[in-house]
A and B are shown apart, each in its own frame.
Chain A
Amino acid sequence: MSIGEMNFFQRMVYIIQEYSGSLLKGAATTMAIAIVCTFFGCVIGFAVGLLQTTEPHKGSGPLKRGLLKAVKVVLTAYVEVFRGTPMMLQAAFIFYGMSQLFGINLGMWSAAFIIVSVNTGAYMAETVRGGILSVDPGQSEGARAIGMTHFQTMVNIILPQALRNIMPQIGNNLIINIKDTCVLSIIGTVELFFTFRSISGALYMYFEAATVTMAIYFILTFVCSRILRAVENRMDGPADFNLATTDTLAFTSGMTRYDAQKGGTH
């Protein structure tokens, strides 16, 4: 059967059969960029969000205060610029700017990772800032009252709760990144959208290729959002708790890590 005689479904099957390799490779590239960049975006976001919510220590001199202030201004500029311009242009700006101004050829992969991470970081910074502020300040006072330092309080008390609070936004960012890596096709990154364009260009089957690619994008984002939901539920821990019995208490004041026997009927 020639391509001309195929119906819509047969053409889709044809695309999948002929191009499964490049589609999978494109999907893998897209996922790799999205996952790695969401991760580094979170790291950047936590660093920036933490700095932006840091108040100068009351004992610190004008130099330290000035420095903190300057750092905050720079970070705010970063956040505003990268949230306020299209990622596609950022990609072109960084990729071509680096080679034209500094003669640095970033290479497709490093350019892709840098651009998406830095872009995600700008969004995450605001999210993290909100997440930190959403943890009630009483807990910080509770921690200070038992002598914990600001750093210990942040790491052990505030950030874990901020992280939990912003998990939905992190998931959102991952999904946005899965879709938005398509703008990297402007610098030649062979991800899923780039693959779609090659296939549709080669076969002149735009509708079929679009359908197949959309289905792949949807599967990727849907699976990710389910996984993240499961992670959130895990972070919440069990909805109920077991009362410790006198036996387990006597046991635990000894040498082993406390591990309550989970309720069971056998």
Chain B
Amino acid sequence: MDEILKIEHLVKTFGTNEVLRDIDFSVSKGDVISIIGSSGSGKSTLLRCINLLEDATGGHILFHGEDILGGDVNEDSYRTKVGMVFQSFNLFANLNVLDNCMIGQVKVLKRDKEEARATALEYLAKVGMAQYIEAKPRQLSGGQKQRVAIARALVMNPEVLLFDEPTSALDPEMVGEVLDVMKDLAASGMTMLVVTHEMAFARDVSNRVIFMSDGRIEEDGDPATVFSSPKSERTRDFLSRFNS
């Protein structure tokens, strides 16, 4: 299969705190990978390293075979191909919904405004937010904000989309609307890397589940195997807390 990302021996330390220890995995086109694990196991740090929001301490991140930690890669253009959706939305508070979804296209991809507007409207319609183009982020609910944030990432036509607990900051009744958008995305063939505590999503939507513990990948396999017959003790422990 068409390999997009390959993470090799990725290490990240904060001072003396080893947060990621020798992470190895690869992401192929169309993969929907859920990353699960207890708090502090390094899931966010892993996504942030992949998106270059943190500098990895060691190892390699290959994007279509090219090492993006090598130094002479244009970080900004790489970031447009690897989108990110944050737990706290991180929408631009001074811009309305439409402009949130246009600014990256206009400033970074240099699309002309008409094209950017059409693209923004197309993806805002996909996440069910086209009616709200005039609203400022502060006028939206959490679920609506997150759907706009997903559209903002999608308009850049990324090859991979990283999600860091996209529903964790939401009230329970809004979790569903965001998960529905993510399911549609997965069904449309989008390559996704999703840090989540939604075990139903991990089990039913993703084609692969990675369990992280203490900065390592403890388990990596298809959801059926990971959930029904996990290899490691820690995975069993973790999962049992969710099943109870």
User: A residues engaging B (CB < 8 A)?
Assistant: 58-59, 135, 138-139, 141-149, 152, 156-157, 160-161, 164, 237, 240-245, 249, 252-253, 255, 258, 260
B141 at the interface (CB under 8 A from A): no
Q: How far is the CA of A255 from the CA of B55 in the complex (A)?
A: 43
Please state if A242 and B130 are interface contacts (CB–CB under 8 Å).
Answer: no
Q: How far is the CA of A144 from the CA of B53 in the complex (A)?
A: 8
Tally inter-chain residue pairs, CB-CB below 8 A. Answer: 101
Instruction: Name the one of B76, B89, B156 contacting A149, with C-beta atoms under 8 angstroms.
Output: B76
Quick one: which of B58-105 are within 8 Å of A by CB?
Answer: 71, 76-80, 83-84, 86, 88-96, 98, 103-104
Please state if A142 and B77 are interface contacts (CB–CB under 8 Å).
Answer: no
Q: How far is the CA of A249 from the CA of B139 in the complex (A)?
A: 20
CB distance from A16 to the nearest CB of B (A): 46
Nearest residue (CB) in B for A58 is B55
Supply 19 further A-B pairs (C-beta < 8 A) apart from A240-B139, A243-B132, A253-B122: A135-B93, A138-B86, A139-B93, A142-B86, A142-B149, A145-B53, A145-B79, A145-B84, A145-B153, A147-B79, A147-B156, A149-B76, A156-B103, A157-B95, A164-B94, A252-B117, A253-B117, A253-B118, A260-B134
Please state if B156 and A146 are interface contacts (CB–CB under 8 Å).
Answer: yes
Given contacts A58-B55, A244-B130, A255-B114, whether A141 and B139 have CB atoms under 8 Å apart is: no
Instruction: Name the one of B51, B88, B121, B156 contacting A253, with C-beta atoms under 8 angstroms.
Output: B121
Give the bracket for the number of chain B residues in contact with chain A. Answer: 35 or more
Among B94, B114, B133, B135, chain A packs the most CB atoms within 10 A around the CB of: B94
- What are 5 contact pairs spanning A and B, CB under 8 A? A142-B91, A142-B92, A146-B80, A148-B76, A241-B135
Please state if B88 and A146 are interface contacts (CB–CB under 8 Å).
Answer: no
CB distance from A250 to the nearest CB of B (A): 10
Which residues of B lie under 8 Å from residue A260 when comparing CB positions?
A: 134
Q: How far is the CA of A146 from the CA of B89 in the complex (A)?
A: 13
Please state if A148 and B107 are interface contacts (CB–CB under 8 Å).
Answer: yes
CB distance from A165 to the nearest CB of B (A): 10
Q: How far is the CA of A235 from the CA of B118 in the complex (A)?
A: 27
Instruction: Name the one of A157, A161, A252 contacting B121, with C-beta atoms under 8 angstroms.
Output: A252
Q: How far is the CA of A157 from the CA of B133 in the complex (A)?
A: 18
User: Can you list the 10 inter-chain pairs with the closest CB atoms, starting with the nearest?
Assistant: A142-B90, A146-B104, A147-B80, A145-B84, A138-B90, A147-B79, A147-B76, A147-B108, A241-B135, A241-B134
Please state if A243 and B131 are interface contacts (CB–CB under 8 Å).
Answer: yes
CB distance from A262 to the nearest CB of B (A): 10
Which residues of A lie under 8 Å from residue B83 when comparing CB positions?
A: 145-146
Among A58, A157, A260, chain B packs the most CB atoms within 10 A around the CB of: A157
Instruction: Name the one of B96, B104, B132 contacting A147, with C-beta atoms under 8 angstroms.
Output: B104
Which residues of B lie under 8 Å from residue A252 when comparing CB positions?
A: 117, 121
Q: How far is the CA of A249 from the CA of B92 in the complex (A)?
A: 22
